[in-house]
Chain A
Amino acid sequence: MSVLVLVEHAAGGPDDVSRQALTLARGYAEAAGGPVEAVLIGADAAAAAAGLGDLGVATAHVAVHDGLAAYAPQAWGRTLAELIERLAPAAVIAPGSERATEAMAHAAAIADLPLAANCIEAAPGDPATVTRLRWGGSLLEQARLHGAVKLLTVAPHAVEVQPAAAPGQATVSEFTPALHDADVVARVSERTHTDTGGGVSLADAKAVVTGGRGVGSAEGFAPIQALAAALGGAVGCSRAVTIAGWRPHTDQVGQTGTKIAPEIYIPCGVSGATQHMAGCKGAKRILAINTDPDAPIVANADYAVIGDLHEVVPAITAEIAKARGG
């Protein structure tokens, strides 16, 4: 039996998270003894589909339908559910992006199958066994996944992309799913663009300087902003700051905020709650500034300065200016 992978594509190729999902799916398919097939959505998917042989895909199904022209989550789910019925795969595996996750939940609801979200490991069987993220990655769950077809999504950036051992040529097969009118009621009708003011975005910044409750006030963020500017980076904040109204939620790092992966992360006056750490696990280095040497953030950082952020942060900014001047 085959393993079907939902592949999201951009610029004529699969995106990063889809390549990660394909890598996990290949291991699953090898253990199950079946081929890897892919499903791509949209008329512009053909180019990306043809190149999937390098990632071990034998057949790429491309869904084409007017109802898929604008993103419509339930139409994506219906498309997956139709393939589930037609191909009867052992499993359907999707990247854990927001859209692919949403489409899988629709497919699971239509097909009335269980769904395991954000898996980092999966092995076939009846039931299949998976390890998945809970609490935004602060806790793992080993679970048995039942159902005639195993539905799962792969947590982003948990699997290292590997090329196929024996790359081949993918056969591209176009099809038109039978969509219902109800499937396109919820569809994107308009996109508004957010003005980022030309600054570097929190998600992409190489350096992030975050202020927590220890900053004490909205005005207290001025030195945090000055240090972020000196590093060409972005300002972040903790949830304690957001709910106090000192900074907008768009600055929040964490499980229910933005997930970041900078070269250096500098949390100032942040205690290091698990839900905060869930957002900065991807940081290469963490340098904590905190008055309390026993704060959890210190135990989770690479470097720490113990002291009052109101003194330490301006001193670092001044030292950078000095280093640049000399």
Chain B
Amino acid sequence: MPVNILCCVKRVPMTGGRIVLTTDEQAIETRHLGFTISPHEECGVEEAVRLVEQHGGSSTVLTLGPAEAEEQLRDAMALGIDRAILLLADEEFDGQATARAIVEAIEAERAAGTEYDLIFFGNESADAGNYQVGIRVAHALGRPCATGLKGVAVADKSVRCEQEVPGGRDVYTLPLPAVVAVKEGLNLPRYPSVPGRMRAKRKPLETRTPARAGAGLEKVRLVVPESQGKQAQILGRGPEAGPAVVEILRQAGIL
């Protein structure tokens, strides 16, 4: 059975070793940073491409973000996603508003004849970590949802979902259509090929501008936590540091 899949991803900065904020404390200073999506979402994209390779069907990637988020959509298409939807928003939406905008886009797709069997979310977004957008979308569409997944297999109009728990995995079997929120470790995403990147440039990208709703969770300011800023005590250079390290291990009660 062919499957129609939608993947939701969020553009976030690659912060490196230290976070610097803009002077108004509303955002991360990104002038010198590259951008990416969460590793959880990367695994969702990879899984969608594999499922379509395996079962046939088609895949779509969607993001709500600034015009520059086209970069993340093209990246996903370079890995094999067929088409993209960009919901333009200059500012971050909270979880409720994000879900609402995504649901409206899915309903517009349905009106245009595209129905999704499976919708992939990351377990949580890399930056906001609201842990809710996928679940809210599932409720609005009246579909079952499982989260924290490290295994997703489609068979006979259902999806078998494996969730990592201490000591093992819990299994859920959901009838399609369904919503899944996945975690890194689900698979090992491929690297984009050069032809894949070339093809991605020509794949269709549709842009919409959702209405901005008021925020129920309203950001006041960001704060960088007090840096541990310990500046390490240097125990030595090279192998000569061995005895000093053993002394620290003794103090830690390990030896």
Chain A residues within CB distance 8 Å of chain B? 71, 73-74, 98, 101-102, 105-106, 108-110, 112-118, 127, 129, 131, 133-147, 153, 182, 185-194, 196, 203, 206-207, 231-233, 239, 242-243, 245, 248-250, 252, 255-257, 263-264, 271-275, 284-288, 293, 295-308, 311-312, 314-316, 318-320, 323-324
Q: Report chain A residues within 8 Å CB of B241.
A: 305, 307, 312, 315-316
* Interface pairs (5), CB distance under 8 Å: A243-B188, A249-B188, A255-B126, A300-B229, A315-B239
Q: Report chain A residues within 8 Å CB of B172.
A: 186-189
Q: Identify which of A182, A231, A243, A315 contacts B144 (C-beta below 8 A).
A: A182
CB distance from A277 to the nearest CB of B (A): 8
Where chain A touches its partner, the secondary structure class is mixed
Q: Report chain B residues within 8 Å CB of A248.
A: 185
- Cβ contact within 8 Å between B218 and A144: yes
Name which of B71-79, B128-136, B197-205 contacts chain A: B128-136
- Cβ contact within 8 Å between B223 and A105: no
> A272 — nearest CB in chain B belongs to which residue?
B17
A115-B95, A303-B233, A303-B248 given; 9 more Cβ-contact pairs under 8 Å: A71-B170, A106-B135, A117-B131, A127-B218, A182-B142, A232-B254, A305-B235, A305-B238, A318-B242
A320 to B244, CA, bound (A): 11
CB distance from B223 to the nearest CB of A (A): 4
CB distance from B12 to the nearest CB of A (A): 9
- Cβ contact within 8 Å between A105 and B136: yes
- Interface: B117 (CB within 8 A): no
A135 to B130, CA, bound (A): 10
| Given A135-B129, A188-B170: A288 touches B232 (CB 8 Å cut-off) | yes
- Cβ contact within 8 Å between B254 and A263: yes
| Given A109-B132, A306-B234: A143 touches B248 (CB 8 Å cut-off) | no
- Interface: B32 (CB within 8 A): no
Chain B residues within CB distance 8 Å of chain A? 15-19, 28, 38-40, 94-96, 99, 124, 126-132, 135-136, 138-140, 142, 144-148, 162-163, 165-175, 183-185, 188-189, 215-225, 228-246, 248-249, 252-255
- Cβ contact within 8 Å between B171 and A320: no
- Cβ contact within 8 Å between B218 and A298: no
- Cβ contact within 8 Å between A323 and B246: yes
A131 to B53, CA, bound (A): 44
CB distance from A150 to the nearest CB of B (A): 10
A255 to B15, CA, bound (A): 13
- Cβ contact within 8 Å between B17 and A304: no
